[in-house]
């Protein structure tokens, strides 16, 4: 079921909230059961048969957890059970997400006639698989506890995060599920509902506006003029940005309506002044996941190996190029390679990941090897500093736009052709810029892109707007620098009018709902 | 899990309640506004949708006791001038304008309404595009039906509107939202209604197609149109209206000579019974997805063709 559909807004959500309230009056455990049940309904709405996979995955992982924690007595080492469970999870994921596209890729590459029929990719399979692997890893390390099955089922399936994240950590969620419920909390419903509407507006009123332009540019097989290629790439960046940002807002808002706090997942990454910062602000829970469960273990392994070889790992020693390559660059490239293919089976996703690996290596190397002079560090305010900051943010954003061309293109070659067009490397052929103006409706696309960029850079994000009401698990108040007081949400008449109007505009636009881009991952 | 988060005080709780109620009020007012607006005189003359004025004309026509009634889709509205027919035939000819979308919602409501206040005509002409004769069997998702809902909301009785809402609850619930979406689209496309009301009044139910484009030649009918050539719905409708006082004539709108026109002609029009559609050069039609809206220059010729058929149909009665 889509968050941006009438069925969800007018049927599913009211029933879920009413059931939550009713269950809380019966017993607090009934709330867990109700939320688990309604989440399965949510997942099965589109294709009920996929519930078998979801419930099967949860049951097997729960069984693995019981074996690891020895709740089911056995003599096999927990690490062995963990290894087996991870392999099984990855096999299932690999079958649905990678096997058939890869087989078809090789079939096409080697000119074979065999074409494997596509299977339906179960929604959110990456999300629920990696959530469960993390739980098993932590259980093996002793930093998690075996939970009751209803708690575990709810942790994995809770509908606001089930399809496209945020990727939850059991340490954040389990304690919340164990507290006694007191039913619906009016302020949580209000704040969560407002957040949901703001996210819905981002998705429906902003992101979806760019779909036509993006489709026209990325489905063209002609050689594009540079201006059109840039408009297409920027339009896709804005579309993806607000699509995922809107989805994250909706997920966090929905959870808040049930008085459950999620971790932040999106924090204005376009305002980042470095690629490292981008990954701290874009799909934050995925970044946290891959750095916790891939990058850090690999770095530890490399460091340990170097220590055994008698090589140093101190900060000073890491500043040597060879050490930097071993301790920082190699783990980063591996991590980002995996982050790339996490998004899909195409080579273009791999290139996307590796490109970000290169970006991050350069960024880390810059920090490691370049020390700005003290005088430059002191001049961190004033007009010049602001220009410098804007230029830095702009160049980081350009790096994002370039990488996202791989994210959207059908293949590496297609992405390369669009990038070549963006940098004016194509000889002029096919429709001219003037023809393209009409093909993609440029007189409308360009102002839309400029408006999208203005919103991205000029307005506060939703957690800043809602900051007075602690909108997420993160404890610290969000950075309020430059945020007008008028834009800080409060239950005032002005905000009621604005939110009511936005909600109604969304309802008008929802007549043909579109899916979320991150559902495919 | 949060149970007692700030704001805790009763005042804060009241503020949240007031806020929620205000949000709901805004949404409710915006939702209900079109329902009240569409029935006003102001809206009848200021509606943004292109066909609203002709569709309202079907219910508000001042022409009484017409001898010949034209009833069809937009092809007759845009392609036939009833006043020219009146002067050629010497009888009163009136078109009760419809579109494909309005027919799907209202079916023969304008005809029923007209006949309830006027004496039966000598002839009713059912004039439609070949792919519109079975409009009653088309699912609502396939065609924009807002224009039909709009005229029903404006002209329908409580009973008629309720009957529609019971039959199509989801569409009825979406009406207000479609009102905004469609009005916005018309606003963006700068649709002009200039002169429509005057032309409707002077021609007795015709408007001029303001689209200056011409259908490109060679043209090809899309399968979506060709696959929907069936006649059951309008055939049954005609049989209901035929009586000793009133004859019924089925007329298939002229079609452009696209490359695959033979597919279109290869249907049993005699089963209606109707003559084969007249085939005209593509440039006598405007360039749009319907393929069959005539260019204004072609209206006199198309009208003459229909006039001759009507003359033949009326002839025995004249004897």
CB A257 within 8 A of CB A159: no
**What span, in angstroms and rounded, lies between the C-alpha atoms of B56 and B207?**
13
Write down how long chain A is: 521
Pick B6 or A88 by higher pLDDT.
A88
CA distance B155 to B41: 11
Q: Confirm if A521 and A343 have CB atoms less than 8 A apart.
A: yes
Prediction pTM value: 0.85
Q: Percent of chain B having pLDDT more than 90? A: 69
Angle at A254 between CA A253 and CA A260, to 5 degrees: 90
ipTM: 0.82
- Contact between chains at A497 and B1 (C-beta distance less than 8 A): no
On whether any CB of chain B is under 8 Å from the CB of A454, the answer is no
- Cβ-based neighbours of B40, under 8 Å, separated by 6 or more: none
Q: By the 8 A CB rule, do A500 and B26 touch?
A: yes
Task: Please list the pLDDT of chain A residue by residue as tens digits (521 residues).
Answer: 888 899 999 999 999 999 999 999 888 889 999 999 999 999 998 888 889 999 999 999 999 999 998 888 888 898 899 999 999 999 998 888 888 777 776 776 676 666 666 666 788 888 899 899 999 999 998 888 888 899 999 999 999 988 877 888 888 888 888 776 668 889 999 999 999 999 999 999 999 999 888 888 888 777 778 888 899 999 999 999 999 999 999 999 999 999 999 998 988 899 999 999 999 898 899 888 888 888 999 988 888 888 888 776 676 676 777 888 888 899 999 999 998 888 877 888 999 999 999 999 999 888 877 766 666 655 566 777 888 889 999 999 999 999 999 989 888 888 998 999 888 876 555 555 556 555 666 778 888 999 999 999 999 989 889 887 877 776 555 566 667 888 889 999 999 999 999 999 999 998 875 555 555 54
Closest to B82 (Cα-Cα) out of B218, B171, B205? B205
Partners of B30 on chain A (C-beta within 8 Å) are: 500-501, 504
Question: What distance in Å separates the CA atoms of residue B287 and residue B218, rounded to the nearest whole number?
Answer: 12
Q: Report the relative pairing of strands B123-128 and B247-252 from DSSP bridges.
A: parallel
Contacts of B26 in chain A (CB under 8 A): 496-497, 500-501, 503-504
Is the preceding omega at residue B7 within 30 degrees of 0, hence cis?
yes
pLDDT in tens, B92-130: 999 999 999 999 999 999 999 999 999 999 999 999 999
Establish how many alpha carbons lie within 13 A of residue A349's alpha carbon, considering only the half-sphere containing its beta carbon.
15
| Residue A251 CA from chain centroid, whole number | 11
What residues of chain A lie within 8 A of the CB of B172, using their CB?
Answer: none
Query: What is the average per-residue pLDDT within B240-258?
Result: 94
A343 belongs to the catalytic site? yes
Residue of chain B nearest A257, judged by CA positions: B2
Say which of B2, B20, B30 has its CB closest to residue A259.
B2
End-to-end CA distance of chain B: 89
A181 touches B at CB < 8 Å? yes
> From its phi and psi, is residue B299 left (phi > 0), alpha (psi between -120 and 50) or beta?
alpha
Band of residue B200 on the pLDDT scale cut at 50, 70, 90: very high
């Amino acid at each position: 079921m889509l968050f941006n559909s009438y069925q969800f807004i007018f049927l599913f959500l009211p029933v879920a909230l009413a059931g939550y309230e009713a269950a809380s009056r019966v017993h607090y455990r009934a709330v867990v059961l109700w939320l688990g049940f309604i989440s399965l309904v949510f997942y099965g709405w589109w294709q009920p048969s996929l519930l078998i996979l979801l419930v099967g995955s949860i049951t097997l992982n729960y069984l693995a957890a019981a074996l690891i924690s020895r709740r089911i007595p056995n003599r096999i080492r927990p690490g062995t059970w963990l290894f087996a469970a991870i392999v099984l999870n990855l096999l299932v994921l690999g079958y649905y997400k990678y096997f058939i596209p890869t087989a078809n890729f090789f079939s096409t590459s080697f000119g074979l006639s065999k074409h494997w029929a596509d299977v339906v990719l179960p929604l959110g399979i990456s999300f629920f698989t990696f959530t469960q692997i993390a739980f098993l890893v932590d259980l093996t390390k002793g930093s998690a506890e075996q939970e009751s099955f209803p708690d575990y089922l709810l942790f994995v399936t809770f509908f606001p995060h089930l399809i496209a994240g945020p990727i939850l950590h059991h340490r954040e969620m389990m304690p919340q599920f164990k507290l006694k419920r007191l039913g619906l909390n009016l302020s949580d419903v209000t704040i969560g509902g407002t957040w949901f509407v703001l996210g819905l507006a981002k998705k429906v009123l902003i992101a979806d506006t760019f779909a036509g332009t993006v489709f026209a540019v990325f489905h063209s097989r002609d050689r594009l003029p540079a201006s059109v290629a840039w408009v297409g790439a920027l339009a896709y960046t804005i579309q993806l940005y607000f699509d995922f940002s809107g989805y994250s807002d909706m997920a966090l808002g929905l959870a808040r309506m049930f008085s459950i706090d999620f971790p932040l997942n999106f924090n204005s990454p376009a305002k980042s002044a470095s690629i490292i910062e981008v990954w701290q602000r874009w799909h934050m829970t995925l970044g946290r996941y891959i750095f916790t469960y891939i990058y850090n273990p690999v770095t530890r392994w490399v460091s340990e190996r170097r220590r055994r070889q008698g090589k140093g790992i101190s900060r000073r020693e890491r500043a040597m190029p060879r050490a930097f390559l071993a301790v920082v660059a190699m783990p980063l490239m591996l991590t980002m390679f995996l982050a790339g293919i996490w998004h899909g089976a195409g080579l273009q996703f791999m290139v996307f990941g590796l490109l970000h690996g290169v970006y991050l290596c350069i960024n880390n190397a810059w920090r490691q090897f370049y020390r700005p002079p003290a005088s430059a560090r002191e001049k961190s305010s004033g007009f010049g500093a602001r220009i410098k900051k804007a230029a830095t943010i702009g160049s980081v954003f350009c790096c994002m736009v370039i990488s996202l061309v791989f994210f959207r293109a059908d293949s590496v070659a297609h992405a390369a052709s669009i990038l070549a067009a963006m940098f004016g490397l194509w000889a002029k052929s096919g429709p001219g810029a003037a023809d393209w103006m009409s093909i993609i409706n440029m007189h409308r696309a360009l102002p839309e892109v400029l408006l999208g960029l203005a919103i991205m850079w000029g307005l506060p994000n939703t957690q800043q707007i809602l900051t007075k009401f602690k909108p997420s698990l993160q404890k610290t108040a969000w950075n309020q620098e430059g945020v007008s007081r008028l834009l800080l949400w409060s239950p005032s008449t002005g905000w009621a009018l604005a939110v009511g109007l936005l909600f109604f505009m969304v309802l008008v636009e929802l007549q043909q709902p579109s899916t979320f881009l991150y559902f495919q991952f | 899990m949060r149970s007692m988060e700030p704001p805790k005080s009763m005042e804060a709780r009241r503020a949240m309640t007031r806020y929620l109620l205000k949000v709901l009020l805004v949404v409710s007012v915006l939702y209900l506004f079109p329902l009240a607006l569409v029935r006003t005189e102001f809206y009848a003359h200021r509606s943004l949708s292109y066909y609203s004025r002709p569709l309202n004309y079907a219910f508000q026509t001042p022409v009484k006791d017409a001898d010949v009634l034209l009833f069809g889709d937009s092809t007759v509205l845009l392609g036939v001038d009833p006043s020219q027919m009146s002067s050629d035939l010497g009888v009163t000819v009136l078109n009760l304008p419809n579109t494909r979308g309005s027919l799907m919602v209202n079916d023969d409501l304008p005809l029923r309404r007209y006949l309830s206040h006027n004496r039966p005509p000598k002839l009713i002409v059912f004039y439609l595009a070949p792919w519109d004769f079975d409009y009653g069997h088309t699912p609502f998702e396939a065609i924009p039906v807002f224009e039909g809902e709009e005229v029903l909301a404006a002209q329908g009785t409580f009973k008629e509107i309720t009957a529609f809402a019971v039959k199509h609850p989801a569409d009825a619930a979406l009406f207000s939202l479609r009102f905004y979406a469609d009005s916005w689209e018309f606003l963006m496309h700068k649709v002009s209604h200039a002169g429509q009301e005057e032309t409707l009044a002077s021609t007795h139910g015709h408007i001029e197609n303001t689209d200056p484009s011409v259908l490109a030649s060679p043209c090809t009918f899309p399968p979506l149109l060709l696959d929907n050539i069936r006649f059951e719905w309008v055939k049954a409708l005609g049989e209901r209206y035929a009586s000793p006082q009133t004859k019924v004539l089925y007329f298939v709108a002229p079609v452009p000579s696209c490359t695959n026109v033979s597919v279109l002609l290869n249907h049993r029009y005699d089963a209606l019974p109707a003559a084969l559609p007249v085939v005209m050069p593509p440039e006598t039609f405007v360039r749009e997805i319907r393929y069959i809206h005539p260019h204004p220059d072609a209206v006199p010729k198309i009208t003459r063709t229909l006039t001759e058929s009507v003359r033949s149909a009326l002839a025995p009665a004249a004897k």
